[in-house]
Amino acid sequence: MKYLKLVNFEINRFFKLYMVLVGMVIVSQIAGVIVESRSFIKEANMTIRELGLTYTSYAEDYGSLSLGSIMRSGWFVLPIALCIAGLSFYVFFIWYRDWFGKNTFVYRLLMLPTARLNIYFAKATTIFISVLGLVGLQLLLLPIENKLFRSLVPVDLRHDAPMSELFTFFDGLGIIIPAHLSTFIIHYGIGFMIVFIIFTAILFERSYRLKGIVFGGLYCVIALGIFLLPFIIVIYQEKMYLYPNEMFG
């Protein structure tokens, strides 16, 4: 119960910053679809007028526009990169904000009549919910953007792709929104594991300061070593015990 209260509390603390990220993704991607579509049509219309072409012949000679190509533009890539950067920063900030400044709020958290592990899990849950929230937002936005794209660009000038294909247009999106559930679990499993490792390293540092940085660093190296063990075994034994898919993780 107190764990859920803490999750709610942590989410509220991150909410404003998170909404900035959400807003930025929505505005930039929708604007991207509109701006890129309009400029493509404008250019196409000019050429068509100059050379007396039809939409179909223009598309044949100069190529059509796909949502995929817009997705590879900065309009899409930049907000996603900023979200990744923002959340990565928050993985650290979610802890350090409680120690820094005049108010050492961490004292209050550590003195709550609840298991201290709940604080750790509440902070981790906040990160996970935020990440999955942004992925969900992207999944919701894509069909909307697709509809918008179709309404803006005439059928002869565009290349329509099914939704599943859209994800493969842009490599990064394939990692963020994989085509298979198993890959999704593996990608996010690794991501969340890394968050746990970083959290633990941060707590080493916070508990033992300078010595803690060494402990934390060692802990990260050991954890990473265990994760990479399948690869290390392959390199040293030149034998494959696992399928590549299982190893990729």
Partner 1 sequence: MIEVKDIKKRFGRKQVLRGASFTAEKGEITCLIGVNGVGKTTILNAIMALTPINSGEILIDGKKLTKDTFEKITFIPDAITMLPQMRIADAMEFMRDYYKSWNQKRADDMLGFFKLKKEDRISDLSKGNTAKVNLLLGLALDVDYVLMDEPFSGIDIFSREQIAEVFTSHLIEDRGVIITTHEIHDIEHLIDKVVLLDEGVILREFNVEEVRETEGKSVVDVMREVFHS
Task: Report the residue number, 98 or 145, with the smaller CB distance to partner 1.
Answer: 98
Report if residue 2 touches partner 1, rule: CB under 8 A: yes
Instruction: Give the nearer residue to partner 1 in terms of CB position, either 49 or 209.
Output: 209
Locate 234 and state its tokens.
């392959």
Nearer Cβ to partner 1, position 99 or 248?
99
Q: How far apart (Å, rounded) are the C-alpha atoms in residues 209 and 192? A: 25
- Would you mind telling me the total number of residues written for the chain in this entry? 249
User: Among 126, 159, 138, which residue's Cα sits nearest to residue 59?
Assistant: 159
| 19, 46, 85, 115: residue in contact with partner 1 (rule CB under 8 A) | 115
Min CB(18)–partner 1 separation in Å: 16
CA nearest 71: which of 175, 19, 179, 145?
A: 145
- CA–CA gap between residue 226 and residue 242 (Å, rounded): 15
Q: Which amino acid is at 48?
A: I
Closest CB to partner 1 among 9 and 241?
9
First to last CA, the chain: 33
- Mask 192-211, x = binds partner 1 (CB under 8 A)? ---------------x--x-
Q: Please list every residue from 3 through 32 that binds partner 1, using CB under 8 A.
A: 5, 9, 13
Phi/psi at 12 (nearest 5 deg)?
-60, -35
Which residues from 84-113 bind partner 1, rule CB under 8 A? 101-105, 107-108, 110-113
* Binders of partner 1 in range 43-72 (CB under 8 A): none
**What is the nearest approach in angstroms of partner 1 to the Cβ of residue 129?**
20
For partner 1, the binding residues (CB under 8 A) are 2, 5, 9, 13, 101-105, 107-108, 110-116, 207, 210
